[in-house]
Amino acid sequence: MYRFAPSPTGDMHIGNLRAAIFNYIRSLQDKSGFILRIEDTDTARNIEGKDKDIMEILSLFGIKWQTLYYQSKNLKFHQEFAAKLLQEGKAFCCFCSEEELSAKKEKAKEKGVAYRYDGTCEHLSDAEVIDNPKPFTIRLKKPTRVLKFTDAIKGEISFEPENIDSFVIMRADKTPTYNFACATDDMLEGVTFVIRGEDHVSNTPKQNWIRECLGYTDEISYAHLPIILGPDGKKMSKRDDASSVKWMLDTGFLPEAIANYLVLLGNKTPCEVFSIEEAVEFFDIAKISKAPAKFDIDKLAFINREHIKRASTKRICELFGVDESKVELVKFYTQESSLIPEIKAKISAIFSQKEIPSEFSQNAEILRNEILNLAQIPAEFNELKTILMEKTALKGKAFFMPLRLLLTGAPHGPELNELYPLIKSSIKEILNASK
């Protein structure tokens, strides 16, 4: 069983989408199922409507989940598990205030050492706990041995016990911390494999330790994805436009192209252009590079062009708002443009009123009238060209530039003899619209 567990606090990052896609592909490979879990326990942050945004984006990418969970619905289980750990002496109440802890952290910083909780409250007697009126958190006692796990990408990873202190599992307001909620939810929901970003590597031993202390014996496997670097070679942040899935969709990249590129990124694949369904046939999480992958928007643009070319007639009509007669025209313009808005603009310019510069307007009008007066539109561009040159005596730039402007609305573009077969059946409509 695989899961994608986003926090609904902002626009989805491509790193999160990449993890969702990988988890989904793996779930299709072994048919174990895919869970969407909205981690909504952080009530301090505004999440209104963000869960719906997440679901809409996943649906756009063809990601289907068998079960939807909201983490906040599991609060009673989080509290019961915390109580169990307290009763068994595996956890303890901590009355240290934020001010006290901050002071200790500052002292550790001054000494140049990593802060570790010093166990102030770990050995309080029952009476000291019961008689203490202060609010408290619940801490899980630190492990006394090395914690290891095998990462499907990075190999075996070990954490010495001195590097994991007695960490908080329940806050003073009796809500779970991220690690505790995540660990117990994965246990409750039968998750067997988690693919997520490498920023979670240090969370994994804590989550494994939580489940072990609760007596859970089923193994959960992990793969931690290396970070994605921006064009400057630094980790992509929310300040980078391309890090936002919404920005990429709004810019005109197809969901299928974005998914293709994210699977390709830092990976060894048998081909460059594929769908998620095709990726299911060859995807191997172990082939993901251990090194960070650099985001290349030019490569994404290439992938986008290829997906426009391979799209079905129905998909083209849906994406570009055209009828079937213009589908091949859309694909033709991928030689010039990669993005949906750019291609839409070129198609629109052909079938819209044109602004013809004054130096070409007279000849453009002559050519327009001659074409409109033709009893039959020639099958080949060269035949049309010969007829028009004979009738108008125009040649060279005086012929080709006004004709190009009449047909495309642009002074530059693809060769007219290549474009002509795609527009000849609509040429009179185009000329009437260009007035």
The three-state secondary structure class of 38 is: strand
Measure the CA–CA gap between 150 and 66, rounded to whole angstroms. 27
344 pLDDT more than 90: yes
Q: Are residues 320 and 284 in the same domain?
A: no
Residue-number span of the structural domain to which 378 is assigned = 313-433
pLDDT of residue 231: 83
Distance of alpha carbon 92 from its chain centroid, rounded? 40
Measure the CA–CA gap between 58 and 52, rounded to whole angstroms. 10
Give the DSSP letter of residue 409.
Answer: S
Residue 193, token pair as written in the block: 């494999």
Beta strand 34-38 pairing with 2-4: parallel
Give the DSSP letter of residue 352.
Answer: S
178 pLDDT more than 80: yes
For residue 47, name the pLDDT band (cuts at 50, 70, 90): low
Q: Is residue 110, in this structure, part of any structural domain at all?
A: no
Tell me the pLDDT tens digit for each residue of 321-337: 999 999 999 999 999 99
pLDDT of residue 41: 80
Residue 153, token pair as written in the block: 């990408």
Amino acid letter for position 284: D
Q: Is residue 148, in this structure, part of any structural domain at all?
A: no
CATH of residue 333? 1.10.10
For residue 234, name the pLDDT band (cuts at 50, 70, 90): confident
Q: Is residue 385, in this structure, part of any structural domain at all?
A: yes
Nearest to 404 by CA among 362, 367, 435, 358: 367
Residue 412, token pair as written in the block: 């530059």
pLDDT of residue 11: 84
42 pLDDT more than 80: no
Q: Are residues 349 and 420 in the same domain?
A: yes
pLDDT of residue 241: 79
Q: Are residues 290 and 342 in the same domain?
A: no
Q: Is residue 161, in this structure, part of any structural domain at all?
A: no
Output 234 or 27, whichever has higher pLDDT. Answer: 27
For residue 433, name the pLDDT band (cuts at 50, 70, 90): confident
48 pLDDT more than 70: no
Q: Is residue 134, in this structure, part of any structural domain at all?
A: no
pLDDT of residue 301: 97
pLDDT of residue 44: 57
What is the share, in percent, of the chain residues with pLDDT greater than 70? 98
Q: Which residue matches tokens 């830092």?
A: 266
Measure the CA–CA gap between 127 and 105, rounded to whole angstroms. 28
What average pLDDT score do residues 163-168 get? 93
User: 140 forms bridges with which residues in the sheet?
Assistant: 91
Q: Are residues 297 and 349 in the same domain?
A: no
Tell me the pLDDT tens digit for each residue of 181-211: 999 999 999 999 999 999 999 999 999 999 9
Q: What is the DSSP string of 287-355?
A: GS-SSPEEP-HHHHHHHHHHHHHH--HHHHHHHH---GGGHHHHHHGGGT--SHHHHHHHHHHHTS---
pLDDT of residue 311: 96
What is the share, in percent, of the chain residues with pLDDT greater than 90? 87
- CA 33 → CA 23, 145, 192, distances in Å? 10, 34, 10
Contact assessment for residue 125 and residue 119, using Cβ atoms and an 8 Å cutoff = no
Measure the CA–CA gap between 72 and 56, rounded to whole angstroms. 21
Q: Are residues 355 and 270 in the same domain?
A: no
Q: Are residues 289 and 324 in the same domain?
A: no
Q: Which of 305, 329, 359 is the last residue of a domain?
A: 305
pLDDT of residue 162: 87
pLDDT of residue 434: 63
Q: Which of 288, 305, 322 is the last residue of a domain?
A: 305
Q: Which of 305, 330, 349 is the last residue of a domain?
A: 305
Residue 373, token pair as written in the block: 């007066």
CATH of residue 297? 3.40.50.620
Which secondary structure element, helix H or strand E, spans residue 34, and what is its range?
Answer: strand 34-38
46 pLDDT more than 70: no
Mean pLDDT (the chain) is 93
Q: Is residue 48, in this structure, part of any structural domain at all?
A: yes
What average pLDDT score do residues 155-161 get? 95
pLDDT of residue 232: 83
Task: Please count the structural domains in the chain.
Answer: 2
Q: Are residues 263 and 341 in the same domain?
A: no
Give the DSSP letter of residue 142.
Answer: P
What average pLDDT score do residues 12-28 get? 96
Amino acid letter for position 213: C
Tell me the pLDDT tens digit for each residue of 109-142: 898 888 889 899 999 999 999 999 999 999 999 9
Measure the CA–CA gap between 397 and 106, rounded to whole angstroms. 76
Measure the CA–CA gap between 15 and 205, rounded to whole angstroms. 22
Measure the CA–CA gap between 304 and 386, rounded to whole angstroms. 38
Q: Is residue 165, in this structure, part of any structural domain at all?
A: no
Q: Are residues 424 and 378 in the same domain?
A: yes
pLDDT of residue 150: 97
pLDDT of residue 45: 57
What average pLDDT score do residues 276-293 get? 96
223 pLDDT more than 80: yes
Residue 42, token pair as written in the block: 């952080």
Measure the CA–CA gap between 335 and 9, rounded to whole angstroms. 39
What average pLDDT score do residues 220-232 get? 93
Q: Are residues 340 and 274 in the same domain?
A: no
Residue 330, token pair as written in the block: 């859309």
Measure the CA–CA gap between 45 and 103, rounded to whole angstroms. 26
Beta strand 293-294 pairing with 228-229: parallel
Q: Are residues 272 and 347 in the same domain?
A: no
Residue 239, token pair as written in the block: 């300040």
Give the DSSP letter of residue 141.
Answer: P
Q: Which residue matches tokens 């629109």?
A: 348
Tell me the pLDDT tens digit for each residue of 55-64: 999 999 999 9
Distance of alpha carbon 294 from its chain centroid, rounded? 15
Tell me the pLDDT tens digit for each residue of 350-390: 999 989 999 999 999 999 999 999 999 999 999 999 999 99
Q: Are residues 320 and 393 in the same domain?
A: yes
Q: Is residue 406, in this structure, part of any structural domain at all?
A: yes
Q: Are residues 276 and 342 in the same domain?
A: no
For residue 43, name the pLDDT band (cuts at 50, 70, 90): low
